[in-house]
Amino acid sequence: MRYLPLTDADRRDMLAAIGAPSIEALFADVPLAARQPGLLDLPLAMGEMEVERRLAAMAAKNLHAGMAPFFLGGGAYRHHIPAAVDHLIQRGEFLTSYTPYQPELAQGTLQSLFEFQTQVALLTGMEVANASMYDGATAGAEAVAMAHRLTRRNRAVLSGGLHPHYRAVCETYAQFAGVELERSDATPGAGEDLASLLDSKTACIVVQNPDFFGEIRDYSALAQHCHAAGALLVVVVTEMLSLGAICPPGAMGADVVAAEGQSFGNALNFGGPHLGLFASRESFVRQMPGRLVGETVDAAGQRGWVLTLATREQHIRRERATSNICTNSGLCALAFTIHVALLGEAGLVRLARLNHATAVATAERLAALPGVRLVNDAFFNEFTLRLPCPAAPVVEALAAQGVLGGIPVSRLYPERPDLADLLLVAATETVTIEDIDRFEAALREVLR
């Protein structure tokens, strides 16, 4: 087998060195009743060509984004990833290295994570960021848990504009952590009075900007209300590129930012792996979840990097750790770092502007169709349309015509019939004028 270097002669020699009569003898500690006598009922080994043929056949059954005008967002965005990103992350020294617990053998990973932490802090406008989380949704749940630890209060308020998956993950974590959640209902197109939900038990309010429906809001006043009440403002960002165009959460007074970083460097991947980002005030750092890279010096006085503040973490602190998290999303963070570095200041701002322009053009065209109304006041690269009929069958019909035309809001809010006519549409730099033409024509046809 191509992945196994031992030959039968090696195996015989090694068994002889061990003094074992057979491989079976090495499994002597396994109770006899628990040993599988023969092969399990699964296919036998295959060559590379055969495996490739079978998986490629599965892949070919999907209508992927490159095959159709594509307008889906909702927390996962299709952006052009420069070729250098994938080339660099596939270098074996990055791809096949472990968590950098031995810093002298991992300065490459550590320095790139230090650059990542800096980029995330700069983009979000926060003081510090960690070395990444699993994804945006789990980062949100960890933010609520951190607010609970910091304030010693056990109630959290979730905005109705929070992505329903983020909300659901918060609910799952909270029911086991004893955190009480107050959920404001989704009110696309209208505001919500979150400040009135603050009380002396509130650890944090969680909002999203742009929110799930694409709306951009100023949360500066809410931040002040939170701080006056002794609570934290957690801002979720699912489209990090938006921060190239809009005021970042840090400038609005956010205490914690929990975000999804997939937009930079990472493919859609049918939902994962993606990249959780976590940024906060520097004073919270000893309560942060996840890994942190810090600067230090070596025995010769030269600058270098190490994993730091490990006394927060499970491998040292065990049941008193700030989180049970062990793995982060290292390679996804590297892809983010390289993509952001390639863009740089000028490129990131221009890319954000291009996204906004494309979305505005798309919104104007679609909202001009009979019976279609734009719900948003302000938006970045994603917006919500109210159709004259339920959106789910419209999206199915569009797909049948080869157009991936957004996300029916009902897929995420099956319990809200009043939202059934809403269609969430994203338009990034990958959308061409021809794509917009085809989407408009197909939607006109389907709605007729």
Partner 1 sequence: MSALGATTSGNRGLQLEEKLVFEQDSPGHCGVDLPEPPPFRARLNGLERQGPIGLPGLSEPQIVRHFTRLSQKNYAIDSGLYPLGSCTMKHNPRLNEKLARLPGFADLHPLQPMASVQGALELIDTTAHWLKVLTGLPAIALSPAAGAHGELCGIMTIRAALTAAGDPRRRILVPESAHGTNPATAATCGYTIESIPANARGRVDLAALQAKLGTDVAALMLTNPNTCGLFEDEILEIADAVHRAGAFFYCDGANFNAIVGRVRPGELGIDALHLNLHKTFSTPHGGGGPGSGPVALAATLAPHAPVPWLVHDAAGCALIEHAAGPAKGSIGRLKGFHGQIGMLVRALAYMMSHGADGLRQVAEDAVLNANYLRVRLADALSLAFPGLCMHEVLFDDHFLKDTGVTTLDFAKAMIDEGFHPMTMYFPLVVHGALLIEPTETESKASLDQFVAVMQALAARARAGDAAAFRDAPQLTPRRRLDETEAARHPVLRWRPAAE
Q: Which of 240, 243, 419, 436 binds partner 1 (CB under 8 A)?
A: 243
Of the candidate residues 69, 161, 188, 244, the single one contacting partner 1 (CB under 8 A): 244
- Comparison of 154 and 229: residue with beta carbon closer to partner 1: 154
Size of the site for partner 1 (CB under 8 A): 209
CB of 301 to partner 1, least distance (A): 9
Assigned token pair, 249: 């959460």
| Contact between 222 and partner 1 per CB under 8 A | no
Provide the mask over 285-314, with x wherever binding to partner 1 is found by CB under 8 A and - wherever it is not: x-----xxxxxxxxxx-x-xxx-xxxx-xx
What part of residues 310-369 is at the interface with partner 1 (CB under 8 A)?
310-311, 313-321, 323-332, 334, 338, 340-351, 353-354, 356-358, 360-361, 363
> Binding to partner 1 (CB under 8 A): which residues in 106-145?
106-109, 111-115, 117-119, 121-123, 127-129, 131-132, 134-138
Q: Determine contact, residues 241/351, Cβ cutoff 8 Å.
A: yes
Query: What does residue 99 show for φ and ψ, rounded to 5 degrees?
Result: -45, 135
Which residue of 181, 195, 197, 216 would you call a contact of partner 1, by CB under 8 A?
216
10 burial class (0-12, 13-18, 19+ CB within 10 angstroms)?
exposed
* Residue 422: CB minimum distance to partner 1, A: 14
Q: Which of 3, 152, 370, 434 binds partner 1 (CB under 8 A)?
A: 3
Task: Looking at residues 376 to 415 of the shown chain, list those that interact with partner 1 (rule: CB under 8 A).
Answer: 376-380, 395-396, 399, 404, 407, 411-412, 414-415
Q: Quick check: 192 binds partner 1 (CB under 8 A)? A: no
Site for partner 1, residues 83 to 112, rule: CB under 8 A: 84, 86-100, 102-109, 111-112
161 scored as a contact of partner 1 (CB under 8 A): no
Q: How far is the CB of 167 from partner 1 (least distance, A)?
A: 9
Taking the C-alpha atoms of residue 93 and residue 404, their distance in angstroms, rounded to an integer, is: 38
Q: How far is the CB of 429 from partner 1 (least distance, A)?
A: 7
Binder of partner 1 out of 192, 429, 435, 440 (CB under 8 A): 429
17 interacts with partner 1 by CB under 8 A: yes
What secondary structure does DSSP assign to 300-360, as a single string? TS-EEEEE--GGGSHHHHGGGSS-------HHHHHHHHHHHHHHHHHHHHHHHHHHHHHHH
Work out the number of other CB atoms within 10 angstroms of the CB of residue 178.
8
Three-state DSSP at 141 gives helix
From the list 117, 125, 119, 135, the residue with the least C-alpha distance to 256 is 125
Q: State the minimum distance, in angstroms, from the CB of residue 431 to partner 1.
A: 12
CA nearest to 252, candidates 207, 282, 220, 216: 220
Give the whole-angstrom CA distance, residue 382 versus residue 71: 9
Contact 292, 130 (CB under 8 A): yes
User: Which range touches partner 1 (CB under 8 A), out of 184-192, 211-219, 225-233, 439-447?
Assistant: 211-219
Please state the closest distance from residue 117 (CB atom) to partner 1, in A.
Answer: 5
Q: Indicate if the alpha-carbon torsion angle 211, 117, 220, 155 is positive or negative.
A: positive
C-alpha 258/C-alpha 276 separation (Å) is 7
Minimum Å distance from CB 163 to partner 1? 7
**Per-residue DSSP letters for 359-390?**
HHHHHHHHHTSTT-EE--SSBSSEEEEE-SS-
Among 21, 172, 190, 196, interactor with partner 1 by CB under 8 A: 172
CB of 121 vs partner 1, minimal distance in Å:
5
Q: In this structure, are residues 235 and 277 in contact, taking their beta carbons and an 8 Å threshold?
A: no
Q: How far is the CB of 341 from partner 1 (least distance, A)?
A: 5
Minimum gap (Å) between residue 7 Cβ and partner 1: 8
Binding test (CB under 8 A) with partner 1, winner from 21, 160, 199, 248? 248
Of positions 181, 229, 245, 420, contacts partner 1 by CB under 8 A: 245
CB of 347 to partner 1, least distance (A): 4
Using the contact rule CB under 8 A, the part of the chain among 149-157, 195-203, 223-231, 246-254 near partner 1 is 246-254
Alpha-carbon distance of 273 to 269, in angstroms, equals: 7
* CB-based contacts of 82, cutoff 8 Å, min separation 6: 339, 342
Q: How far apart are CA 172 and CA 282, in angstroms?
A: 28
With CA atoms as reference, report the closest residue to 160 among 118, 135, 188: 188
